[in-house]
Amino acid sequence: MGIKENYLKIKSELPEYVKIIVAAKLRTPEEVKEAIFAGAEFIGENYVQEAERVYNALGEVAKRVRWHFIGILQKNKINKILNIFDLIQTVDSYEVAESINKRAEKLNKSVPVFIEINIGSEITKAGVRPDYEAVKELAINISRLKYLKLEGLMTMGPLSVEPQSLRVYFRKTKEFFERLKSLNFPNINMQYLSMGMSDSYKIAIEEGANMIRLGTAIFGKRIGR
């Protein structure tokens, strides 16, 4: 099946409220365009340079969709990120949040962000450690930054394990999400729980995800990262 058919089929099988982020790393502008023409509303990119290349190549088409940054944040890339992306899903420290805020202030732009949780406590992975108090502390600190709006949580879950074994991690992330939601802080408006990828999105939705990030399931196998 082609990109369009894959997108439409998955979309038709999901509950209406689930948002699909098309994870476009290592895909060509033509491939991304096909997903957009199939109706994709959100494109996720991990690498700033690659995103710029695709974004520029798409011209006006790029402006039909919202761009989510889902990669590792580097402070020296934040200006470029803010030029393209509408939302950043991978904030995992106050330091990084502050530097996004500082640059957003210069642009007089309000930036929606998610906190990334390293729910499996993997040393190699970005994200806040899976301790509710640590996540809450970061959320409260972010709520004091005028140009950021905290709108959700994102998690990857441990790689290369049986998708079913991710269930407990998704459940725990959902629990953090609900607890944060009930806090009632200014600038915190917990709406989105971004979890689940091509091999795990069904389980993630069962555990409360309302946003999933799909690459392979839409584009087919990826060569490389």
Ligand X SMILES: *Cc1c(COP(=O)(O)O)cnc(C)c1O
What is the contact surface with ligand X in residues (CB under 6 A)?
23, 25, 46, 70, 156, 197-198, 213-217
Give the count of alpha carbons within 13 A of 193, CB side only: 23
Query: Minimal CB distance to ligand X: which residue?
Result: 215
Distance from C-alpha of 79 to C-alpha of 107, rounded to nearest angstrom:
9
Closer Cβ to ligand X, 128 or 214, answer by number? 214
Task: In angstroms, give the least distance from the CB of 66 to ligand X.
Answer: 16
Task: In angstroms, give the least distance from the CB of 213 to ligand X.
Answer: 3
Closer Cβ to ligand X, 87 or 214, answer by number? 214
Task: In angstroms, give the least distance from the CB of 60 to ligand X.
Answer: 26
Closer Cβ to ligand X, 62 or 218, answer by number? 218
Task: In angstroms, give the least distance from the CB of 56 to ligand X.
Answer: 21
Type of residue numbered 49: Q
Tell me if 111 sits within 8 A of 154, measured CB to CB. Answer: no
Tell me if 21 sits within 8 A of 70, measured CB to CB. Answer: yes
Closer Cβ to ligand X, 126 or 188, answer by number? 126
